[in-house]
Structure 1
């Protein structure tokens, strides 16, 4: 069969009539493009979905027939022959858009959890038929090679039950759809490691949101704080974006325990409202251009780790506030060379372990209490200087010893009359 014609050869059986030709061969050639769509659909409907679309290149008629909703419905009546890595859910991402919609309605409408991309390896657009999966509670399309914009289709259905939406580690661009706000049951939203741009939309209807991860994008505007129930949020990671300010409304996030705003061009004093987040356990705000002081941080009595390195702070934690931070385990302030001289007394902090600050700041300050030099930022506090000349000299001495030993072995072999082979030594 060529790309445009099909050749059908039939052998005509010999007859008893006089003059009949023995083994006569009849050749019929027909343009496959002229075959009815119904016939093409009947032929190809028996081919499993993971293979059927390989035949789209035969001709335009086959291509057009395989892309119809009618064919999709016929083909899906075939008993599933997928391997474990080619489930209906993972195949849904690979088939054409019309087939996706039919599959979503006919086979996936009751699906509650879709958390695998299966055999997805090539770049594919985000499937708009996702809104037809109205019973989904978990949609995990992380690392699915998704490209383009996220379609703003989530407002089409009011009964979406989605609790978890994970689209991280793709190549999605454009803005974050405003219709995400219709996912009122959502408690985890992960859009990290994409190419999303612009401000986050109003999330005032997301009353159940506990985890927000939008790191490593190009999002702009103030750090997001507008949620339906801001006191529900517990985990927010917005690092490595283009957020430009910390709004006073951050004080509404009273139950956040993990907050990472690092690598955002904020360049402003630390707002006092940040110290209202009394349930913070981990606060990371390095490389933000923050200025001013850490005074008032004693209110964060549950804080275990503070990373404010590589900013432009001029005052550290006031000496009278340090004893109030009983849970503090690590303090990272390297990259703030203008920190004023002060006393740092960690003696009353039973859990304190790691510290890193600029050497000049440490040398001009008074340190009390035990701590381990921080390895996170490759700082060596009071570590001995590396003497490379001494190391080189020692290496030379070791080489001389090795050569001397080898020479002794060779001399011993010659004196005793033994060959190297006799000694079991291979040179």
Structure 2
């Protein structure tokens, strides 16, 4: 995009936007919100979620009561997992379930991957990975007597395949990182990194939190071993919505995750002594599923499927190009830096800009109705959730950032 993008240009982009009708699927913002730029952290609510929840409470919960568990509720983690996989993960059925939080699923996936590589001692992770992932790895390394290999990004705020290859050896058990980096928005080459890990005999666990619903993902094609992610960002299933867990079918026969719960057991309702894991991906489930949360995930997956992940990605790229052009024109002269890759092929669904007073500025922006996201020490993340947002809304928000920063 030109560095001289006008508001008229933004309006023209909206007029030509094939995804524009999807904005009406979301509940309206309150009048005090000028622009919502945090959909990469908490997505806006779909109107259909409120409708589905209301119907469920009146017809299913009140109408069927306890009978609902044997009339379809218990199958929802796998059924909706398959729907999300088809819409956004590039995965065949039977490899994804909706359950627990990202942290819990990440712990399960990491321990299961480590169990599949006995005798190997090294866990490879980058220092800029999301905190919960770093903390889980530190815990596992401490408890199991392993070694952490820490990577520092050398590729525009992210980890390249060369960074990973430099530390791989016959002692590497698991490589784990985020497909889209939470701080910079760097989009890793998941296929190439997975292939490099496999060439060294290691397994890979991908965190897809900032990627799912925002960039094309091809888990089966890339031969990914394990993946986890949340559903309250681009999927828009609501605060605290259950996460997902993916395990490639080639690992199902020997899958051994550490949190043995009653719903991960074969024949759960037999209440037998001793744990015998369920077959396949069902063994990744531990406790009772959050039915309301899973129903919200279903609505998000349906909208992604209808819009098409390639069309979603195309709009994210165009929005990001406009933000970077306006940053260059308006914000760089005011002391801002760009902390995200300029190359759209290496950038996910948000653009991070930096300035020393970012924390204070972000609070002031929130006070005037522009809602971005602050990340320490000096970054403001501009989240570009393409289904509910317009080019004009983003252009107006950038203008507010410019004016408030003078």
By percentage of residues, which structure has more strand?
Answer: 1
Higher share of residues assigned helix: 2
Using the size of structure 2 for normalisation, the TM-score is 0.21
Asked which structure has the greater RCO (Cα within 8 Å, sep 6+), the reply is 2
